[in-house]
Amino acid sequence: MSDRTVLLGLDGATFAVLDPLMQEGVMPFLKEFVDSGARGDLQSVIPALTPPAWTSLTTGRSPGRHGIFDFFCKESPDSHNIRIATAKDVHGETIWSIADRHGLRTIALNFPLMFPAPRIRGYVVPGWMPWRQIRLGCHPPELYDRLKKLPGFNAQELAMDITPDAKPIQGVRPGEYEEWVVVHIRREQQWATILRTLMHEDPCELTAIVFDGVDRIQHLCWRYLSPAASDTLSPEGTRIRERCREYFRELDRLLAGVVGLAGPEARVIIASDHGFGPQTGTFFANAWLEKQGYLAWAGEGTPRADRPEALGIEQLARHAYLLDWEKTRAYAPTPSSNGIHIVRRGPGHPHGVPDDEYEGFRQKLAQQLREATDPASGKAIVSRVWTRDEVFEGPYKSLAPDLTMDLADGGLISILASDVPYMSRTETSGTHRRNGVFIARGPGIARGVRLSGVSILDVPPLLLHSLDLEIPADMEGTVPEGALDPSWLRSRPIRRAAAAPIEDVPEPQAEEALFTKEDELKLAQRLRDLGYID
Amino acid sequence: MKASREQIMADVLGLLRKLADDWEYTGEITPQTRFFTDMGLGSLDVVVLGTAVQEHYKQVFPFADLFARVGQRAVPDMPVGEWVDFIHEHLDGGPGPGAAPSRMGE
């Protein structure tokens, strides 16, 4: 197994946090790993969000070409209804499917959008699954019974549980932080135990895992973890900071164990789906649209923000009932994509924007967003606005938001009603940035190299090249040759498949949604944990 | 060949009982057991179960219609038997190629 390849995903990792931890001795293994390999910032996709970004990293396609823009997807281009995205919504071959096609085997753990699991040679445990259903996601089916026998196995902690997983975005009560970080330490230990067990008992050519506690801890604990914070913390804040460092210390130990088990002949790539930085305020996008006359709520009972951190996660998928569709022409359905959808006139939407007015409407709205300011400070709220034609080129762009925003502080929007369109947060939290991390080490990898301009789309070509496989023509990225030892590159030239004839891709069609019709309101209230969290 | 209601019931009960063992749910699961009130499931659980059913039968089911009906009830819940009836009613054929009829979810 001379081309054994390992992908260690660190969800949301940023050198802004990792570098100080390495320098201060909290992550000694990672420091040694970086020093003896190649590193660089990794540019994520737009939006820099877990589902589209990891899907780009595993397919080599940008969101307009793989069809994933959010944790949720529209039923059809003209529908207001959204549903949870699944593996069935991912378009394009994944690195494990390609490996399987060439007879290679994969261990893939904790990646989003892997349910239903691909029936590949090897092992799959999907991430972002409800804990009661992990068995259904495991491949092969008998794998779950093996997992249950592992020491310390706890499905509820291993899986996504919506209650604790909402906390990174919306906050936890004072006094809960430390225990919450400790849960994530145990959680990563469980994933690492599963990985080491499979690697030991049945090693595969491609091994891949996501450790997602990095993202969750940075969301909630940024103000404790940030290098700038250490001098100003209270005694409790200092304790929380130490717990966070404990998490990273343990993560370092787990990474060392996995890399050691893979052996010196393995090429190891560490990558994140996006980076991280501070979020200082909240933009209530639907409240702003209401004030501009683009949106109207259906009536009393509209959920309102009671604090700046309230993004409206509990209200996901309820916009279909909460908005007045005779008066609404633009709306933000989820707090997880920073996207605004325009209501187009058509069957079922007689009050939408007519086709011949659409472009003018979209441009005007985009310009107004660019000019939106925080009334208190006078500063711009939105730093960039893209039309979907600008950033989502590909056969699935019609499923994307009409407009996608970058907020000035890099944060996520709220979808709740609010008296004011923008609130400063009482405490700084963490949120996504586009620059993540790329680190590689192993035979054929250059030592001590710093790279620039590496895209998340370049990672799957590198993984396939490491496995000595041809790179499909439809992968948008290229092998980052600067990361490779020139002599190794000469001995193993990059093989790229010839471009295949472009096939017609049918327009996405409506599928049945599970929780979308107006009559479901009562059930939706019962089912308020629908969904997500990053 | 289209699966019979009895086959579907056996598949669904088998699946739920197997999963319930993982949850350490100690109650009996019968056609009368309700998803939310009795088993304590959440919406995402039901989404995943529905996806597993669709994967097994290689067919999209109009679950939205079922939930719309359920949502109008004073207690928005449904027993397993009603779900099975719905699957049977909308089933075009048998399980997809390679799916063992008695091993839903695998």
Q: Does the distance separating the beta carbons of B71 and A521 come in below 8 Å?
A: yes
Handedness of CA A131, A136, A140, A143 (dihedral sign): positive
**Minimum mean pLDDT among A164-168, A400-404, A490-494, B86-90: which range?**
A164-168
pLDDT at A522: 32
| A519–B62 C-beta distance less than 8 A | no
- Which of the four pLDDT bands, split at 50, 70 and 90, describes residue A176? confident
Q: Which residue has the tokens 């996660």?
A: A313
> Chain A residues within 8 A (CB-CB) of chain B?
83-84, 86, 88, 115-116, 129-130, 132-137, 141, 144, 148, 155, 162, 511-517, 519-524, 526-531
Chain B residue whose CA is closest to A113:
B48
Chain A hits for B70, CB-CB cut-off 8 Å, are 523
How many other C-beta atoms are found inside a 10 Å radius of the C-beta of residue A348? 10
Residue A293: its pLDDT value, please? 97
Q: Determine the pLDDT at residue A320.
A: 65
| Encoded tokens for A348 | 């079922």
A501 pLDDT exceeds 70?
A: no
Highest mean pLDDT among A67-76, A123-132, A444-453, B25-34: A444-453
* Cα–Cα distance for residue pair A425/A169, rounded to 1 Å: 12
Using a CB-CB distance cutoff of 8 angstroms, which residues of chain A are in contact with residue B77? 526
With residues binned 3-state (H G I as helix, E B as strand, rest as coil), the percentages for chain B, rounded to 5, are 50, 0, 45
DSSP label at residue A281: E
% chain A with pLDDT above 70: 86
B21 pLDDT band, cuts 50/70/90, is confident
Question: pLDDT tens across A346-382, in order?
Answer: 887 899 999 999 999 999 999 999 999 998 889 999 9
Contact across the interface for B46 and A527, Cβ inside 8 Å: yes
C-alpha A428/C-alpha A219 separation (Å) is: 10
pLDDT tens sequence across A246-283 = 999 999 999 999 999 999 999 999 999 999 999 889 99
Residue of A nearest to B37 (CA): A526
Whether residue A474 is predicted with pLDDT greater than 70 in this model: the reply is yes
- Higher-confidence residue of A67 and A173: namely A67
pLDDT at A485 over 80: yes
Tell me how far apart the alpha carbons of residues A364 and A360 are, in angstroms, rounded to a whole number.
Answer: 6
Separation between Cα atoms, residue A234 and residue A145, nearest integer Å: 46
Contact yes or no for A515/A495 (Cβ under 8 A)? no
Helix axis angle, A213-225 to A177-201, nearest 10°: 150
Q: What SS3 string covers A378-424? A: CCECEEEEEEHHHHCCCCCHHHCCCEEEEECCCCCCECCECCCCEEE
Cβ separation of A520 and B71 shorter than 8 Å? yes
pLDDT of A512 higher than 90: no
Nearest C-alpha in B relative to A163: B42
For A123, phi and psi rounded to 5 degrees? -135, 140
Are the Cβ atoms of B76 and A523 closer than 8 angstroms? yes
Q: How far apart are CA A379 and CA A410, in angstroms?
A: 14
For residue A313, pLDDT over 60 is answered with: no
Distance from CA of B65 to the nearest CA of A (A): 8
Q: Are A281 and A374 in contact (CB under 8 A)?
A: yes
The partner residue sitting opposite A519, judged by closest CB among B49, B50, B72, is B72
Task: Quote the mean pLDDT of chain A.
Answer: 88
C-alpha to C-alpha distance for A265 and B27, rounded to whole angstroms? 51
Backbone angles phi, psi at A482, to 5 degrees: -65, -20
Best of A128, A512, A529 to disrupt the B interface by mutation (most B CBs within 10 Å)?
A: A512
Lowest pLDDT segment from A166-170, A322-326, B1-5? A166-170
- Say if CB A156 and CB A187 are below 8 A apart: no
CA distance linking residue A291 with residue A58, whole number of Å: 41
Q: Provide mean pLDDT across the span A291-315.
A: 72
Q: What is the band of A173 on the pLDDT scale with cuts at 50, 70, 90?
A: low
Please give the share of chain A, as a percent, with pLDDT higher than 90. 69
Strand A206-211 and strand A5-10: the pairing is parallel
Sole residue written with tokens 């400063």: A424
Over residues A440-451, the mean pLDDT reads: 97
Q: Does B61 have pLDDT greater than 90? A: no
Mean pLDDT on B85-99? 75
Question: What digits encode the pLDDT tens for the residues A84-111?
Answer: 788 989 999 999 999 999 999 999 999 9
Q: Is A530 within 8 Å of B50 when comparing Cβ atoms?
A: no
Q: Do B48 and A115 make contact, defined as CB atoms within 8 angstroms?
A: yes
Beta strand extents in A421-468 (DSSP E only): 422-433, 435-441, 449-455
C-alpha distance from B93 to closest chain A C-alpha (Å): 18
Q: Mutating which of A88, A132, A147 best tests the B interface, going by the most B Cβ atoms within 10 A?
A: A132
Q: Give all strands (DSSP E) within chain B, no chain letters.
A: none
The residue of chain B with its CA nearest to that of A144 is: B22
- Measured over the CA atoms of residue A250, residue A252, residue A256 and residue A258, the dihedral's sign is positive
Return the number of other C-beta atoms located less than 10 Å from residue A25's C-beta: 10
CB-defined contacts A:B, below 8 A: 100
For residue A329, what are the contacts with CB-CB under 8 A and spacing of at least 6? A294, A295, A342, A343, A351, A352, A353, A361
Contacts of A532 in chain B (CB under 8 A): none
Residue A211: name the closest of A181, A240, A225, A190 by CA: A190
Mean pLDDT across the stretch A385-392? 97
Looking at the predicted structure, is the pLDDT value of residue A531 above 60? no
Helix residue ranges, H only, A226-264: 235-262
Q: List residues in chain B touching A: CB distance below 8 A.
A: 18-19, 22-23, 36, 41-52, 55, 60-64, 67-73, 76-77, 103, 105-106
Q: Which residues of B touch A517 (CB under 8 A)?
A: 64, 67-68
pLDDT at A302 over 90: no
B44 contacts in A (CB within 8 Å)? 84, 130, 133, 162, 529-531
Question: Hey, of B18, B49, B51, B66, which one would you mutate to test binding to chain A, going by the most A CBs within 10 A of its CB?
Answer: B51
Query: Using omega within 30 degrees of 0 as the cis cutoff, is the peptide bond preceding A375 cis?
Result: no
Cα separation, B67 vs B65, in Å, equals 5
Q: Which of A133, A519, A524 sits opposite B19 (nearest CB)?
A: A133
Greatest mean pLDDT among A157-166, A338-347, A435-444: A435-444
**The pTM of the whole model exceeds 0.90:** no
Q: Is A27 exposed, middle or buried (0-12, 13-18, 19+ CB in 10 A)?
A: buried
Over residues B64-86, the pLDDT tens digits come to 667 667 766 778 788 999 999 99
- Bridge partner residues of A439 (DSSP): A39, A270
pLDDT greater than 90 at residue A123: yes
Looking at per-residue confidence, does A442 or A420 come out higher? A442
Q: How confident is the model at residue B24 (pLDDT cuts 50, 70, 90)?
A: confident
| Cis geometry, peptide bond prior to residue A140 (ω within 30 degrees of 0) | yes
Which residue of B15, B43, B54, B90 is the best one to mutate when testing the A interface, meaning the one whose CB has the most A CBs within 10 A?
B43
Domains of chain A: 5-61+81-274+434-500 (3.40.720.10), 279-429 (no CATH)
pLDDT more than 90, % of chain B = 30
> From the CA of B31, how many Å to the nearest CA of chain A?
20
pLDDT of residue A78: 79
First to last CA, chain A: 35
